[in-house]
Every structure is written in C-alpha cells, then in structure tokens.
Amino acid sequence: MPEFAPASRVSRIKSSASVAAAARVRELKAEGRRILDLTVGEPDFDTPEHIKAAALEAIAQGETKYTSVTGTPALQKAILQTLEVRTGLHYTPAEITIGGGAKQVIFIAFMASLDADDEVIVPAPYWVSYPDMVLANEGTPVVVPCGEEAGFKLTPEALAGALTPRTKWVILNTPSNPTGAVYSPTELRALADVLAGHPHVYILTDEIYDQIYFGADRLTSLVELAPELKDRILAVNGVSKAYAMTGWRLGYAAGPAPLIAAINKLQSQISSCPSSVSQAAAAAALTGDQGFVRESREIYRSRRDKAVAGLNAIDGLSCTTPEGAFYAYVNCSGVIGKVTPEGQVIANDQDFTLYLLDAASVASIQGSAYGLGPYFRISYATSLDIIEESIAAIDKAVQALS
C-alpha cells in the first residue's frame, strides 16, 4: 500500500502551539508530575447554572435535531439584540453567521474569501492560528511586527506600509491573545482612516474577549466607531470566553450579507449547522443574567494584578499590564544568554519556557509561537494560589541562572 501523502494545504501549516503545549502538560501530568499550568486559554470556572439548565431543557423538549444552517430563531434574535446593544448598529439575520466556535467561523470566512496569493495582514504578536488559517486557504499571511513600544498594536503607519493591491483582509484582535492589549477609540479611528482609502480590503475584528475588559469605560468595536466601514467588517465573537463555555463550541459573526451567504453555503457542506443544544445554551447566555460576566471579570482583574506585580518583581523579566483577556505577555530578554545550572545556554524564549517546565514545573508558551520574541505567554485563568506558586517557582528558576 502506498504511503499516505497529505494534501498540500496540510503541509503548509503547523499544529497549534497552544494545543501542543496543553497536550504536553497532560502527558507530564499522566506521568505523575505536578505541573503548574499557565498555558490554558480558557476560563477555569464552570458554565453558569442557568445556561446549563437551558441546555437540559432543550434536550427535554426534544430540541436535538438539525437546525437551519443560520441557527435557531431564538439564537439569531439573541445575537442580533446583543450586537445592537454593543455596537448601536442594526443587523439583519442575513448579516450573521453561527458556527462551531469563533475559530471555525474565522476559518470558513477565509475559505469563503481567499484565492491563491491573496494577502492577509496579521499584526504580531498574533493568536497562533491566524497565519496557518490563511495558509490553509491558499492565502499569504503578511506578518507586521507590533512591538512593545507600540503597545503590541498595529499603528496607522505600519498598516499603510503593509497594504498592497493584493491585500484581502486585515485582522484586528482586541482584547488581544496573547498580550491583552486593547485598541482605544482614537487608535481604531486612525486605522479606519487608513482603511477608508483601500475599499478592496476587508477587516476581521476578533472580539472574543470583549467582555473581559478592565478599562473604566466601555470597550468600543471598530464597526461602532466607523460605521461607514460596516460593509467591509466581519466582527467575530462567541460565548466561549465570557461565559466559560469553551467546550460548547458556539461562535458567531456579523458582516456584509454577500460574505455571510458565502460562509453559510460552506457551513452547510461542512457541518450542516451548529449543535442545537449549544445554541439553546448560547441564547440563554446572551439574554440571561450577566452577573457571572461581571463577577468573573473582577476575579480576572485581581489575578492579573497579582501576576503582573509578581512577574515585574523578578530580575530579568518585565510585563506590561494587560487591558483585557486573561493573558500576560512577559518580556524575557533579560535572561537570554544566561546559563542553566546544567550548563545549557538560554538562547531564545523557547529555551526559557522549556527550562521553566523542567526546572520549575511551570508550563507557559514561548512568544515566538505568537510571532514576536523574546517573550512568553502565561494565562491567569487559574487560581490565585497557582499564580502565586508559579511566580515563586519562576523566580527561583531565574535566580538559578548565571
């Protein structure tokens, strides 16, 4: 039998670094090692009871069949109401799509829109899946470094310099994974002014962490700030992060009707529709009591403050204060070139994260996986006890370097 040869789209991409890190942690735990896991990009809370109750009720009522590819009427209504409250803009059912998680929605959006050699501007640091999703769909990721001096955000100048006649998309992730950076209204307006002169470019705004924002004011969406770009903006969101529903796999997006129609056509051939039970749960999440969102956000804030203060107290490490999400992006340039007690030189951020795993039993993800080193990402979607223990272990490991 001939050896299996995967399609070229498979060989163009890498496995997700965050998924690989989580898998390695599970392997080490299975071997009996106690690992302080700071890799996981999901809430450590359980899904709120009223959301689970809505799912159970849906099952009891027999809502376990196929739904429309565009979702149940109840979930469509909940999404449309949510969009209007958060953006002040009116969307129609023809302008929304619902999928098996925001990740699937983004992938199918690229599948529906990219032809060979179309370019997608990806600001770095980026969520690990963006470039590979583009590559899998025959596009070309154009990675634009956005350093700490720029707040890890795309500037108008950098955007203007990256745009070409082949640019199909620009990705904006706010709040950001991995940095927690948030674009201010002023910054978004400046980017919108650049994009106004390039009508062939679409904008994908990944807003999956929009409910986990620590600012005193309300988080502003690009489509709210620049409604004149509405027919070119795909605003992606979901229930995974804000409502602790990662395993329910339910995401959605709002955008121009022709793009949404293309996404839904592909969705009809890929999975027919999202889970009917997850849709019932998501409708309850969006329309029900939002106390969980507010309470969990304050818990994340206290964890963030503890993590950032502790990391900044370690000689050789530094960390800006994230404005949203539940990640910290830690500058480890101060330990590059140092030597471990075993005599190994820390040559890069991957070496450092492997050292932390080996010497401190702390699992994190190297910044190079997100397109910008030397940094490493931690998730503070874990208990204060684990955060404090991890920081103490990192400090001890760093002190052991020479």
**Which CATH number belongs to the domain containing residue 232 in this structure?**
3.40.640.10
How many structural domains does the chain have?
2
Let me know whether 251 and 136 are in one domain: yes
- Domain membership of residue 55 (yes or no) is no
Let me know whether 263 and 307 are in one domain: no
Question: Which parts of the chain register pLDDT below 50?
Answer: none
- Domain membership of residue 1 (yes or no) is no
Give the pLDDT confidence score for residue 380 in this predicted structure: 98
Let me know whether 112 and 221 are in one domain: yes
Last-in-domain residue among 264, 287, 310: 287
**Residue 311: which domain range?**
8-46+292-399
What confidence tens digit (pLDDT) does each residue in 52-104 have? 999 999 999 999 999 999 999 999 999 999 999 999 999 999 999 999 999 99
Let me know whether 361 and 275 are in one domain: no
Let me know whether 125 and 228 are in one domain: yes
Question: How distant, in Å, are the alpha carbons of 23, 36, 298, 325 from that of 287?
Answer: 35, 36, 21, 22
Q: Is the peptide bond before 274 cis (omega within 30 degrees of 0)?
A: no
Give the pLDDT confidence score for residue 135 in this predicted structure: 97
Give the pLDDT confidence score for residue 28 in this predicted structure: 79
Let me know whether 364 and 222 are in one domain: no
Let me know whether 235 and 353 are in one domain: no
Give the pLDDT confidence score for residue 177 in this predicted structure: 98
- Domain membership of residue 126 (yes or no) is yes
- Domain membership of residue 58 (yes or no) is no
Give the pLDDT confidence score for residue 372 in this predicted structure: 97
Tokens 């799509």 belong to: 97
Given a contact cutoff of 8 angstroms between Cβ atoms, the answer to whether 326 and 38 are in contact is no
Let me know whether 260 and 305 are in one domain: no
Surface-to-core class of residue 173, CB atoms within 10 Å of its CB (0-12 exposed, 13-18 middle, 19+ buried): buried
- Domain membership of residue 310 (yes or no) is yes
- Domain membership of residue 377 (yes or no) is yes
Q: What is the pTM of this model?
A: 0.95
Phi and psi torsions of 203, nearest 5°: -125, 125
Last-in-domain residue among 287, 318, 344: 287
Encoded tokens for 346: 């820390």
What CATH number does residue 388 fall under? 3.90.1150.10
Let me know whether 323 and 251 are in one domain: no
CA distance 98 to 91: 14
What confidence tens digit (pLDDT) does each residue in 215-234 have? 988 899 999 999 999 999 99
Let me know whether 201 and 79 are in one domain: yes
- Domain membership of residue 57 (yes or no) is no
Give the pLDDT confidence score for residue 33 in this predicted structure: 84
Surface-to-core class of residue 377, CB atoms within 10 Å of its CB (0-12 exposed, 13-18 middle, 19+ buried): buried
Taking Cα atoms as reference points, which of 316, 240, 309 lies closest to residue 274? 240
Last-in-domain residue among 257, 287, 317: 287
Q: Is the dihedral of CA 154, 111, 253, 52 positive or negative?
A: negative
Let me know whether 73 and 189 are in one domain: yes
Let me know whether 89 and 237 are in one domain: yes
213: left (phi over 0), alpha (psi -120 to 50) or beta: beta
Question: How distant, in Å, are the alpha carbons of 70, 370, 395 from that of 265?
Answer: 10, 31, 52
- Domain membership of residue 52 (yes or no) is no
